[in-house]
Amino acid sequence: MKQILSLIVLCAVLAPLSVAAETVFRSGTDININTGQLIDGDYYVSVGPFSSTTMSGEINGDMYAVGGAVTLNGSVNEDVSILAATADVHAIVSDDVRIAAGEVTIAQSVGGDVFVLAGTLEILSTAEITGNLYFFGGSAIIDGNVAGAIYGSAELITINGSVGGNVTMRAPAGLTLGDSAVIGGALQYSSVVPLVRSQGAVVEGEVTEQTIAAASTREQIRAVATPYFIVVFAALTIFLLFKDELQGIAQRPRRYARHLIIGAGVLVAGPIVALLLMVTVLGSLLGVTLMGLLMMLYALSIALAGIVFGYVMSQTFLKDDKVSMLTVLLGTTTLQILLFVPLFGLVLYIIVLLYTLGLLTHVFIQTSTKA
């Protein structure tokens, strides 16, 4: 049974990588695709959290990029997925765009939906989004045109372009409609402050406003402290029960690019494979088993991400090669604090989480194969 589970997880990891025979993988530092270069298939690139990558050529398939700074200047004929500190999309993308970053800029046409998780988002006036826009993060300035609807949650959002559908947003710090704003559908928003609407702004549908009560200091402290103590308690419990096993996992060779790709594959493709198995008669039991295994891996990754991060910090700066109580507390606390850093923190947290998920998946497959 262990071998079967290992095979299922491996299939989940490799599923997004086996679609195109011409898939190109590149990892290292400062990797670029120059003007005139063509990749006739999918393109995967990882340059780490402190390096940059630029794509100025043409990609006939999907593009997946992980790095400190990711810049697109050419064209992508299918989807784009980016995990970075800063992401600048000056390329024409024929299908969907998915980005998790500190700062995001979109300047050209997108043929599908745009999903952004970021500290700041700027959609320039030259941008045209054919589908819907989903934004979750800090602040957003939308000067370009969105043919579909806008959904999400932001601290502050400003709309200066046209929106073909509804706008449904939670914006505690405020929502502003500029003089050039045209909303083709209804506007639903919840905020602490009233809507700021310029005289030239047009809303063709109904405007619905919901006031958000400002949270008290005690509620704000509780909202921050509760998840922190839950994660710390889980990490300390795992450390006390499985100290030797954690030491062995932490001391494995750090193959950052490989484990990041494995982690992203398990996170994205794992549930899809499990659901596909569930709807088949013969694979329903395997699908349920795989989904349970994935939930376990996700939960463990959240609990262990701080330990892995603390071990890397301890080994790098203190030259200490042991997983200790200090490692657990230092790594977990630092990682939780990073969630409040608008530009770089969230991206680094996601990278550490994906790396931990990939590392655990790799360990699980190796252990099950040997058993």
Residue 277, pLDDT > 80, answer no
Give me the count of residues in the chain.
Answer: 371
How high is the pLDDT of residue 12? 44
CA distances from 305 to 2, 181, 189, 223, 290 (A): 25, 43, 35, 21, 22
Mean pLDDT, all residues of the chain: 83
User: What is the model's pLDDT at position 13?
Assistant: 43
pLDDT the model gives residue 7: 40
Kindly report, residue by residue over 229-269, the tens digit of the pLDDT: 888 888 888 888 888 888 887 777 767 778 888 888 888 77
Tell me the pLDDT band of 78, cut-offs 50, 70 and 90.
very high
Asked if residue 11 has pLDDT above 80, the reply is no
Asked if pLDDT for residue 19 goes beyond 50, the answer is no
Q: What percent of the chain lies above the pLDDT cut of 70? A: 87
**Angle CA 96–97–101, to nearest 5:** 165
Residue type, 7: L
Instruction: Kindly report the pTM of this predicted structure.
Output: 0.65
pLDDT for 220 beyond 70: no
Q: Is the confidence at residue 17, as pLDDT, over 50?
A: no
| Per-residue pLDDT tens digits for 175-190 | 999 999 999 999 999 9
At 234 the three-state DSSP class reads helix
| CA nearest neighbour of 87 among 59, 58, 122 | 122
- Per-residue model confidence as pLDDT tens digits over 281-302: 566 778 778 888 888 888 888 8
Structural domain spans, the chain? 20-211, 217-370
Pairwise CA distance, residues 54 & 65, whole Å = 10
- Region 202-221 average pLDDT: 76
CA atoms of 183 and 208, how far apart (whole Å): 13
pLDDT of residue 109 exceeding 90, the answer is: yes
